[in-house]
Amino acid sequence: MTGRLLGIARHDRPRGPMATIDHVTIGLETGVQGDFRGSLKPGRNKRQVTVMTADGWRAALTELGASIAWELRRVNLLVDGVALEETRGALLVFSGGVVLEITGECDPCSRMEEIAPGLKGALLPHWRGGVTCIVRQEGRIAVGDEVRIER
């Protein structure tokens, strides 16, 4: 199953605003260039890059009856056409050569309740909140790139 990269976002500091961009370098040591969460940290290297599906986001918003920009979820990448539920250990392979290993579910934090009451709960089923990843192959990605899952 091949999907598509719909969006890229990053933030340069804790609780900082998310900036959406069209393309970015993904580094082995840095994750999404310019995103403060991407650098490798001793003993805590399971969350360099976060990825969410457009379907999961839409389902959560439908449940809430809300309209909220995807980047407010505070994940780095928005993809469409791939299923991320129960994919720990699988690889996300982008057409530009970037490879991310899925390390687990990206549990929604209490910040989601600040955005909209009930959003945290709406993101919990079926890994709607997305996945955490580490970088296995660096390179550049751009909105519109193809993405597939390899198990």
CATH number at residue 96: 2.40.33.20
Q: Which residues of 72-106 are buried (b: 16+ CB within 10 A; e: fewer)?
A: bbbbbbbbebbebeebeebbbbbbbebbbbbbebb
CA distance 76 to 11: 9
Q: Could you tell me the two tokens for 2? A: 């091949």
Instruction: Report the 10 Å Cβ neighbour count for 15.
Output: 7
What is the number of structural domains in the chain?
Answer: 1
pLDDT, residue 107, reads 93
Residue pLDDT, tens place only, 82-141: 999 999 999 999 998 999 999 999 999 889 999 999 999 999 999 999 999 999 999 999
Confidence (pTM) = 0.96
Domain that holds residue 70: 2-150
Residue pLDDT, tens place only, 32-78: 999 998 887 766 678 899 999 999 999 999 999 999 999 999 999 99
